[in-house]
Chains A and B, each alone.
Chain A
């Protein structure tokens, strides 16, 4: 029986019978093809997570609006008023904080939701086959939806502060994607670890919490001395946040070129690490759940 041509046979026409050979270490072969085949499941799981979240909490949507606004308020008072840190150029401090809150919440929510997703979907994993990558990816979509709500608030804030966006704004989708990719890498890794070591979930909120203060959310990255800038940029969210501020606030914020490149490299590395770890552990998910 020809096993080598199997994946193509299934890919070309759904009417033809796919032939699948199952043996130890073999699952790799049709993985990416399967990922595409199961795209509808991805969409429907994302939709489920989203609709369940807002069905269960009546104030769900209100919370999505309130949380970033309250955090912005606290940070503006603590860093801007009490610590008297400088804003980027002429931009209002609150707006500068909010421009960073947006990608940061996207990153941290996606990371948190993804890392717990396999455990909460354990019943599915043990009963049905599908590429497991779909579950954390679908969970991250909820974070993207909250991000859209945040964008709405941003527009309102910009109108309030009378800040007009420049052409830079066109690059915002690129930085959004970058934030998602930055969270996906570590997210997948943590997801897999979380399945294997269940007490790992206690570590994740701590990582996210310290990340909030290590990233330039409450302050401008220009506060960091020039000679430490490159080291600081090892945190991939530094580049993303600077990018967001540059897009939204215009020319007053600067992008640190070398830093951004370094951040990109770190993101790429984590993405590779996350996916390869996830793929390796994926085989045993059903056995350890």
Chain B
């Protein structure tokens, strides 16, 4: 029993979505007064007519997490997997005591450090040195502890020269490195990490992953949430799969990831406008994705080498010509590896018209993936604000085609990606004659 460090029994978290809360994130006193007046009126009316008075009929309950039970043992590294809105973040928030459960209980043995974002509380006006102390204290380190590890933190972040510069002058890379370095030097018994590895450059991500691996190796417990399934599989041995607030399965990480990908594939065949597991302001909502051939006719599957148009149909609350739009989609392999990110900012087409109902179209000439099913996330931001973001929004099913125009099909045995290339042969002349031969 002492080896169980986190034990959850029937854990649940309920949010009440009032009708006024649907419009914005917070309540205005004015609305409460108006609503109170209305409620009073409707109650009085009900009373006069002899109808039963319904309490809270303008409220809607929503269980972000429901009836979740599990145990986590000391030194385990556990990956928590699920779509947006599956309850992962809510679980982490409960474990890190940011919010309290509405039902059930969790017993936590040992100090928990939660890393739900890097650089929580960093202040742009303060210097790097000051921010290390500030952030460390926020994450629960004592001043003595920070002082002891200060040099190590700075070395890990590689920002020695800029310690006394306000962090507002830092590049985003430096900022993230410093922030992660502080977090990486926490020494809690239980480390809870949410999606923070999505930031920073590849080399630094690798370094962070290594550092987290060390933490897990030292007998400390790590809970890790990420959409980066490759990283999850690398770091964790056990996985918990969540869907719509419930714990669906738990077991070896490989099986959990496979189960997740299966569920995602089934899901992406469903209607996009029905999907509830999305994030963003919904200023624009994707309704359908159509994979088409060169002429714009929808096709059920793509042949490698074919010119493809992908149309993302949407509905928008506002009509806005020339908006700063970033439409993007990710392509993941069957094993969950991120293969590509295609977006309108990288191609320099960041200004697009938004209609009430319209579509964005992405042209992908000479489709260069081999046969298989590819899982795609869809994203759109307008003026820097996320409008709609859906994990596993659609799949692209690919069959082997004549990519190299040789009249033969390429087969998928050798990797996922096809590269348009050609070969030729050259002759290296024998030693000595080379110099003469090359002279003009």
Contact = CB atoms under 8 A, between A and B. Distances in A.
B250 to A, nearest CB: 20
Nearest to B138: A128
B107 interface: yes
A288 B26 contact: yes
B93 interface: yes
Given A27-B100, A124-B121, A283-B100, A197 B27 contact: yes
Interface residues of A, number: 41
Interface stretch (B111-119, B200-208, B379-387, B394-402): B111-119
Interface stretch (A12-20, A77-85, A89-97): A12-20
Given A23-B106, A286-B93, A1 B117 contact: no
Interface stretch (A49-57, A103-111, A218-226, A260-268): A49-57
A17 B137 CA distance: 20
B98 A128 contact: yes
A45 B120 CA distance: 13
B189 interface: yes
A198 B116 CA distance: 25
Interface string B97-113: 11111111111111100
B143 A40 contact: yes
B96 A129 contact: yes
Interface in A15-37: 17-27
Interface string B17-29: 0000000011111
A123 B121 contact: yes
A21 B97 CA distance: 10
Given A23-B101, A128-B120, A41 B28 contact: no
B67 interface: no
A3 interface: yes
Contacts of B138: 41, 124, 128, 130
B30 interface: yes
Contacts of B1: 1
Interface string B392-427: 000000000000000000000000000000000000
A52 B123 CA distance: 8
B212 interface: no
Contact of B123 (A19, A48, A130, A200): A48
B134 A48 contact: yes
Nearest to A195: B26
Contact of A56 (B95, B97, B117, B125): B125
A162 interface: no
Interface string A55-70: 1100000000000000
Given A56-B125, A198-B27, A127 B107 contact: no
A199 B123 contact: no
A17 B114 CA distance: 17
B125 A21 contact: no
Interface string B352-392: 00000000000000000000000000000000000000000
A24 B98 contact: no
Contacts of B110: 17-18
A21 B116 contact: no
A70 to B, nearest CB: 27
A19 B96 contact: no
A287 B16 CA distance: 10
Contacts of B139: 128
B329 interface: no
A287 to B, nearest CB: 6
B103 A24 contact: yes
A155 interface: no
B94 interface: yes
B111 A18 contact: yes
A96 B179 CA distance: 51
A126 interface: yes
A20 to B, nearest CB: 5
Contacts of A25: 100
B7 A44 contact: no
A17 B27 CA distance: 40
A288 B130 contact: no
Nearest to A203: B29
Interface string A125-136: 111111000000
Contacts of B172: none
A196 interface: yes
Nearest to B15: A287
A123 B120 contact: yes
A19 B109 contact: yes
B102 to A, nearest CB: 6
A17 B98 contact: no
Contacts of A287: 15, 99
A289 B26 CA distance: 7
B27 A20 contact: no
B142 A44 contact: no
Interface in B117-170: 117, 120-121, 123, 125-126, 130, 133-134, 137-140, 142-143
B137 A124 contact: no
A1 B26 contact: no
Contacts of A22: 94-95, 97, 100-101, 105-108
Contact of A17 (B15, B25, B189): B189
B165 to A, nearest CB: 13
A1 B100 CA distance: 19
Contacts of A45: 134, 137
B258 interface: no
A23 B104 contact: yes
B40 interface: no
B130 A128 contact: no
A282 to B, nearest CB: 10
Contacts of B97: 20, 22, 27, 129
Given A56-B125, A128-B121, A17 B111 contact: yes
Given A24-B100, A55-B125, A123-B121, 16 more contacts: A1-B1, A22-B94, A22-B106, A40-B137, A44-B137, A52-B123, A123-B120, A124-B120, A127-B114, A127-B117, A128-B120, A130-B138, A198-B26, A283-B99, A288-B25, A289-B26
17 contacts: A19-B108, A22-B100, A22-B101, A23-B105, A40-B137, A40-B142, A41-B137, A44-B133, A44-B143, A52-B125, A128-B121, A130-B138, A197-B28, A197-B32, A199-B29, A286-B93, A288-B26
